[in-house]
Chains A and B, each alone.
Chain A
C-alpha cells in the first residue's frame, strides 16, 4: 500500500474503455490506474471480459472507445495510427494461456526473436540475454529444445522468459496456468512470484485465487464488463463490500465461507 505514496510513478492509465463484439457489450467503460511496480490480479467469472481487457491493452483487440496510457505512450481509440499501436506494444509483453511459442524456433530462439527483430540487438548479445533468462526460469538445460518437445509448464516458462527479454514496462498474463496439468502449475507460479518480487509491473488474469491473494498488491474483480470492486487482497477476499463479489468467491472458494 505504501507504494502509492507520493513519488510513485503512474505506469498505466485506462480511461473509459469500451469494447463491443457486435451487439455484445464486453467492456462497458473500464477505468483503471496502475502504478509502477504494482502487481494487479484480475479475477471474475467466465465471460466477464478479463481477457478482452488485457488484449485491448496491447491492441490485439481494438477498443471502440477509451484512452490507454502506458508510460509516456497514450492512445485514444478514436484516432489511432498503426505506428502508435506498434509503439504501445513495445511497452508491454504478454504471456498467453496457450503459451503461443514460435513452433519453428528453439526455446533460446523464441526468447531471442524480439531482441533481434524488434530491438535490433546483435546475435551474440541476444544470445547472452536469452540464455540468462532461460536460466532464471530454470530451463538452462532446454535452450536447444523445440516447443513441441517441452512440457506445458516448460513451454510457459519459455513464454515468460520471452516476455521478460523485451524488458517491457509491464507484463500481461492471461491465465498463465489454466492450460496446465495440475502438477505443472506450481513451477510456473513460482517463476511468476519470483519476477513479482523484482518489481516488474504485472497484470495477471487468473483463477488461482490463493496465488493472487499472496502476490498481488491489488485485486480487481470484474463481472459483466465492469470493474465491480477493487482493493487489497484483504479488502477483496475478506472484507468485500459488493454482493456480486461475495457470490463469486463463494462459488470459487467455498472454504472462504467463514470470512463472509
Chain B
C-alpha cells in the first residue's frame, strides 16, 4: 500500500469546509464555559456553604470525567428529560428536531466551565491580598475590586492556561463526530470512507488541526505580551 499524496490535498480542501462548525463547537462552549467558570469561582470563594459544596462537586465531577461522557449523558439524557416536560406541559416541541450540535455545545459548555473555574481560581490566588486591601481602603466595593483589580490580573496570569484549554477544546470537538457532527474529524471520516483512503484523509485532518493550533498560539502570545506588559521584564 502506498500513500496517495495528491489525495491528501483533495481531502484537505474537502475537510476545510468543516472548519466553521468546528470553530462553532469550540468557541461557543468556551465562551459560555467562561461565564459559568466566573460564576462558579465566585460561589466557590464566597460564603454560602451549601451552594459552595454544589459548585465544588460540579467542578470535581466535570474535571474528573472525560468530555465524551458529558456529551453522551446530555445527548441521551436530556431528550428524555425534555420529553417528560413536553408531555407534562403539553408543549409543541419535538425533541428529535433539536439540532444535535446544541447538545454538544451544552455538554462542552459545562466541561469548559469546570476547567475555567480552576484556571480563574488559581489566577485570583496570584493577586496579592495587599492590593485587594489597598483597593478597599481607596473606597471600592467588592464588585469594583473584583472587576478592576482582581480579574484583570487573574486573567492576564491565566493566559497560558486558557490557551491550553482552547487548544484542548479544539481537539475535544473531534469526539462530536461520534454523534454524527461533521466537524473536522467527522469530515475526514466521510472523505476517507467514500474513497477508502483513511490514512490520507486523517493526515489532512491532522494538518488542519495543527495549523489552527499554531494560529491560536500565535494569537495567545500576542495577547499575553500586551496583557502582561506591566510585569517587569527584567526579572
Complex-state Cα separation, A96 to B129, whole angstroms: 12
A102 within 8 A of B: yes
When each residue 79-93 of chain A gets 1 if its CB lies under 8 Å from chain B and 0 otherwise, what string results?
000000010011011
Q: Are A102 and B130 in contact (CB under 8 A)?
A: no
Interface residue? B128 (CB, 8 A): yes
Interface size of B by CB at 8 A reads 22
Most B CB contacts (10 A, CB to CB) among A58, A98, A101, A113 go to A113
A114 B140 Cβ-Cβ under 8 A: yes
Q: Which residues 122-146 of B sit at the A interface, judged by CB distance below 8 A?
A: 128, 130-131, 133-141, 144
Contact A162 B136 (CB under 8 A): no
Stretch at the interface among B59-67, B147-155, B213-221: B147-155
Cα A99 to Cα B131 in complex, Å, equals 9
Given A104-B156, A148-B230, do A94 and B134 touch, yes or no (CB 8 Å)? yes
Rounded to whole angstroms, the CA-CA distance of A147 and B232 in the bound complex is 9
Q: Size band of the A side of the interface?
A: 20 to 34
Give the interface centre of B134, B140, B149, B231 by most chain A CB atoms within 10 Å: B134
Decide: A100 near B133, CB < 8 A? Known: A117-B148, A118-B140, A166-B139: yes
Distance in angstroms between the alpha carbons of A119 and B140 in the assembled complex: 10
Contact of A211 with B by CB under 8 A: no
**9 closest cross-chain pairs (CB), A and B:** A148-B232, A100-B130, A114-B138, A118-B139, A100-B134, A94-B137, A146-B230, A90-B139, A104-B230
List 18 interface pairs A-B (beta carbons < 8 Å), by A numbering.
A58-B136, A60-B133, A60-B137, A86-B139, A89-B137, A93-B137, A94-B137, A96-B130, A96-B133, A100-B130, A101-B134, A103-B128, A104-B156, A104-B230, A117-B140, A118-B138, A148-B231, A148-B232
Interface contacts beyond A90-B139, A113-B135, A117-B148: sample of 14 additional A-B pairs, CB < 8 Å, sorted by A: A89-B136, A89-B139, A100-B128, A100-B130, A103-B231, A104-B152, A113-B138, A118-B140, A146-B229, A147-B230, A148-B232, A162-B134, A162-B138, A166-B139
Binding site for B on A (CB under 8 A): 58, 60, 86, 89-90, 92-94, 96, 98-106, 113-114, 117-119, 146-149, 159, 162, 166
The chain B residues found within 8 Å of chain A, CB to CB, are: 128, 130-131, 133-141, 144, 148-149, 152-153, 156, 229-232
